[in-house]
Amino acid sequence: MPESIKTSARITVNDRAAFSAPTGQSLLAALQERNIFIPSACGGHGLCGLCRIQVLSGAGAITEREEALLSKAERRAGQRLACQVQVERDLRLTIPEHFFYAREYKAEVVALRELTPDIRGITLKLSSPATMDFKAGQYIQFRIPPYAGGRLTYRAYSIASPPSQPGVLELEVKQVLNGIGSTYVFKHLKLHAAVVFSGPYGDFYLRPGNRAAVLVAGGSGMAPMRAILLDMRDRQVRRRVHYFYGARARRDLLLLGELQTLEQTLPDFQFIPALSAPLPADEWHGEIGLISDVLARHLAERFDGEAYLCGSPAMIAACIKVLHEKGVNDDRIFYDAFA
């Protein structure tokens, strides 16, 4: 059959898995249908950049969205966005090995908690499979069903609970004005709802070793940090850790009591909350300012440890600048940008 009227194409992944897929669909969708779950936080619209994989042959021309999200060096190395590549002819690709371990899970919402006026805690009891093996700091892809005439989509949420409870996962979701996923979570998701997600994903986890570590987070960036700290407590890890957490006012500081209790139980752990816009009624005597400025004030001139950052891309960029000034190289800086 001539190439131009092909109705299916062969997709070879990491030279060890191969399958045929109908032409015309996105590579992201074709892989997902084969239970190979590639992360995507923008519903396949070419906006988040999470679905990047390496295509060795068979992909068409690069799209404008890929040009915007992939550097020249990445493009030269064959990096593509799986959501932007259409299946038209046979494809050979390479994906990170850990994507093969992501699976789809079904769960029930067993608790919903308002942690702050705009951060909601969700507790999920897994039903099928009944447990998930993950590293503290990793995230899942939550399926957002269509509502208000919209389309099915997915959003990334970090797991806020430790691996020691593999059958019950906690998430912390921040409300975003007109955001598709967060509006669903705040307005439509009900107690006992059946939900679907895939995971685990990501390489944001505490590297083994004894080096001192600073954790820096803002808003719902608390989620993976909480998982990391509770995991340290569960495994009785002894390591010097300072956790800088930024919020606007006192009412936006979540889990304060829990973190103060952790300071008592986790040896060498210090929690440093900071408010950027405290209210008079807050009677706040702690740190004030942007969390990157607070980090700059506290960190030693030549910091010899590792840094773990989680929050908005702007917060992460500001913290990386401070860390560079303090002599911390990129190979000791780990982050998840909640874009």
Ligand X SMILES: Cc1cc2nc3c(=O)[nH]c(=O)nc-3n(C[C@H](O)[C@H](O)[C@H](O)COP(=O)(O)OP(=O)(O)OC[C@H]3O[C@@H](n4cnc5c(N)ncnc54)[C@H](O)[C@@H]3O)c2cc1C
Instruction: Tell me which residues touch ligand X (CB under 6 A).
Output: 41, 50, 139, 155-158, 172-174, 176-182, 202, 220, 223, 336, 338-339
Q: Which of residues 2-41 bind ligand FES (CB under 6 A)?
A: 40-41
Three-class SS state of 222: helix
Long-range contacts of 120-124 (CB under 8 A, 24+ apart): 120/172, 120/173, 120/175, 120/185, 120/186, 121/160, 121/170, 121/171, 121/172, 122/170, 122/171, 122/172, 122/173, 122/185, 122/189, 123/168, 123/169, 123/170, 124/168, 124/169, 124/170, 124/171, 124/195, 124/197
Q: From the list ligand FES, ligand X, none, which binds 49 (C-beta under 5 to 8 Å, kind-based)?
A: ligand FES
Among 13, 37, 49, 243, binds ligand FES (CB under 6 A): 49
Q: Which of residues 77-136 bind ligand FES (CB under 6 A)?
A: 81, 83
Q: From the list ligand FES, ligand X, none, which binds 338 (C-beta under 5 to 8 Å, kind-based)?
A: ligand X
In the bound state with ligand FES, the residue whose beta carbon lies nearer, of 46 and 199, is: 46
DSSP per-residue letters across 163-179 = TT-TTEEEEEEE--TT-
Q: Which amino acid is at 195?
A: V
Among 51, 230, 241, 255, binds ligand FES (CB under 6 A): 51
Q: From the list ligand FES, ligand X, none, which binds 334 (C-beta under 5 to 8 Å, kind-based)?
A: none
Q: How far is the CB of 165 from ligand X (least distance, A)?
A: 17
In the bound state with ligand FES, the residue whose beta carbon lies nearer, of 81 and 132, is: 81
How many Å apart are CA 125 and CA 145, to the nearest integer?
19
Binding positions for ligand FES, rule: CB under 6 A: 40-42, 44, 46-51, 81, 83
